[in-house]
Amino acid sequence: MSRNGYLFAAYAATWIIHIAYLGTIVRRYSRLQREIEDLKKPGVRS
Amino acid sequence: MKRAFPILGVLTAILLSYALYLALIGAPTEKTMGDVQRIFYYHVPSAWTAFILFFVNFGASVFYLIKRRSAADIVALVSAEVGVVFCTVVLITGPIWARPVWGIWWTWDMRLTSTLVLWLIYVSYLFLRRFSSSGETPLLAAALAVLGAVCVPFVYFSIWFFRTQHPQPVMGGGGSIDPRMLHVLLINWLAFSCFAFLVCWSRYRLERLQRDVDQAHAMESLLDPRGSLR
């Protein structure tokens, strides 16, 4: 690999790690929204 | 507060873009290493940000041990999680930088090994939080966080105490750095710190919401006539 290839790999790895982590936050938030919707349904609690 | 988040998000995105421009184009090229030295502008700010987050985790854990406030427990959890993400960046970008410069991906010297041990301590902290269902989990996690925080200064100053392959620290290491490089480094650190703050903020809101939903589920099972507690 060329020296610029290492530079690109390091920067790309940094953003892949951060975006992957942000993706887990978004996924958890969506799941939580669905749970909240389920809790709000009137028939669920009766 | 709801308006502040998107405004800060846009400002952080602009700052990160400017920091990336400076790191790749604006900063002078280092004479011996060439362009690959620019990994420095991501590697070092990520390490500093991780250390700060681990200290936030330590402060929040101590506060939790004294006051038993739920908010402190959430801050401790969130800062450890985001700190581990930044520490992972350090452990990935370090070997990518080492390979063309040292000729090896990894060496078991004190700085590298102690950083890996620090990462493992905080990963075990997160595993404890994730998989232990005991009511004492936040207390045990807070105690582990205090132990982890002791390792942070050791990692930073390990270069002083041991002969290592790793270069001297930029701050307080006795070495010199071109002022233009220092400027780019500090801009990148500021950008990553703002990014870390925003990620922590959204993760904090998510965790609070998660605990509210868990509480609602618990209430629901108590009120449900078919529930096992009735």
Q: What is the pLDDT of residues B72-117, one digit of tens each?
A: 999 999 999 999 999 999 999 999 999 999 999 999 988 999 999 9
Q: Which residues contact B122 (CB under 8 A, 6 or more apart)?
A: B54, B57, B80, B83, B84, B87, B148
- Tens of pLDDT along B160-180? 777 777 776 666 555 678 899
pLDDT at B170: 64
Closest CA to B167 of B127, B215, B112, B100: B112
What's the one-letter identity of residue B6? P
What's the one-letter identity of residue B190? L
pTM, whole model, 2 decimals? 0.91
User: Where do the domains of chain B lie, and which CATH numbers do they carry?
Assistant: 16-27+35-168+175-200 (1.20.120)
Chain B partners within 8 Å of A12 (Cβ)? none
Q: Which residues contact B8 (CB under 8 A, 6 or more apart)?
A: B194, B197, B198
The complex's ipTM?
0.89
pLDDT at B223: 81
- Tens of pLDDT along A16-40? 999 999 999 999 999 999 999 988 8
Average pLDDT, chain B: 90
* pLDDT band, residue A46 (cuts 50/70/90): very low
Q: CB–CB of A29 and B96 under 8 A?
A: no
Hey, which of A2-6, B145-149, B191-195 has the most confident mean pLDDT?
Answer: B191-195
Instruction: Show which residues on chain A lie within 8 Å of chain B, measured between beta carbons.
Output: 1, 3-4, 6-7, 9-11, 13-14, 17-18, 21-22, 25, 28-29, 32, 35-36, 39, 44-45
Chain B partners within 8 Å of A10 (Cβ)? 39, 42-43, 92-93, 96-97
Domain boundaries along the sequence of chain A: 3-40
> For residue B27, how many C-alpha atoms fall within 13 Å in the half-sphere facing its CB?
30
pLDDT at B151: 86
Handedness of CA B149, B155, B156, B161 (dihedral sign): positive
pLDDT at B222: 82
Q: CB–CB of B42 and A21 under 8 A?
A: no
B101/chain A closest Cα distance in angstroms: 9
Closest CB to A32 among B85, B93, B206:
B206
pLDDT at B134: 77
> For residue B106, how many C-alpha atoms fall within 13 Å in the half-sphere facing its CB?
10
Closest CB to B96 among A9, A21, A36:
A9
Residue with more model confidence, B81 or A41: B81
Q: Which residue of B has its CA nearest to A31?
A: B210
